Amino acid sequence: MSVLLDIIDGVREDLHARQQLLSLEELQERVKTVAPALDAWAALGGDHAARDDLKVIAEVKRRSPSKGQLAGIADPAALATLYQEGGASIISVLTEERRFSGSLADLDAVRAAVSIPVLRKDFTCDPYMIWEARAHGADLVLLIVAALSDEELRSYLALTHELGMNAVVETHTAEEIARAVAVDAKIIGINVRNLKTLDVDRGVFAALAGGIPSGNIENGPIVVAESGVRDVADVEHYTAHGAHAILVGEALVKDATPRERITEFKATGAQAISTR
């Protein structure tokens, strides 16, 4: 069994427990009381004219299956505030509990602290989780192509749009990119971490990014490089090969000055964009 499938088994168990406490109908009523979702597509440079700099999706991430404990993060809201001050366009919040030590409480805290879009980073495997994300103020969800059938991918993406949200549609292979393009995904992530071994191969991004066409939707999809950002050299590499945004977790939560690091990454990306 791949690591992904093992994680999703746990996610489904935890989801079932939450569903026993709050029905879908009750959750949908809660959504009616939440402020409308912020426009994450625009925040990432949805208008082609706004794609002249690199966008940063900064992640609140305590641990990972590959590295174990990364950071304690006693105050996720304070960290997210530093991210926003550094120039992050979106804050990503891990809510998976078993492998990442995240929670919906973290999402609530971050949502209350920042004015930019927030991504609920979890292993979406049921429409309930999309409604749940919106009820907790998320503006985006993560949809992992490898974890979903074509029918699920299309219907989950439609639901996010129905709720005024966006989705980062995560891919790992050329075949998965083709599936994302087929459902007109507006934001396509390329994760360079192997789902079976958890190894990172940064060369995967360069090999795959060219397979995302620029004209299947207005202005073309936003391309997000996921995993493997350690320093400015990695930022330059991803940007040079077509990234409009980078998703960074470990490098920021382990840095004593995450605000300054984001500013540095953005400056590096802007320079790389100007020369590509």
Q: Count the neighbouring beta carbons within 10 Å of the beta carbon of residue 150.
A: 11
What are the residue ranges spanned by the domains of the chain? 3-275
Question: Which residues are designated catalytic?
Answer: 59, 61, 121, 170, 191, 226-227
Superfamily of domain 3-275: Aldolase class I (3.20.20.70)
Residues of the chain with pLDDT under 50: 1, 215-218
**Looking at residue 217, what is its pLDDT?**
43
**Looking at residue 197, what is its pLDDT?**
83
**Looking at residue 219, what is its pLDDT?**
66
**Looking at residue 196, what is its pLDDT?**
79
**Looking at residue 260, what is its pLDDT?**
98
C-beta of residue 93 within 8 angstroms of C-beta of residue 110: yes
Residue range 101-136, pLDDT digits in tens: 999 999 999 999 999 999 999 999 999 999 999 999
* Torsion from C-alpha of 122, 125, 129, 133, nearest 10 degrees: 40
**Looking at residue 46, what is its pLDDT?**
85
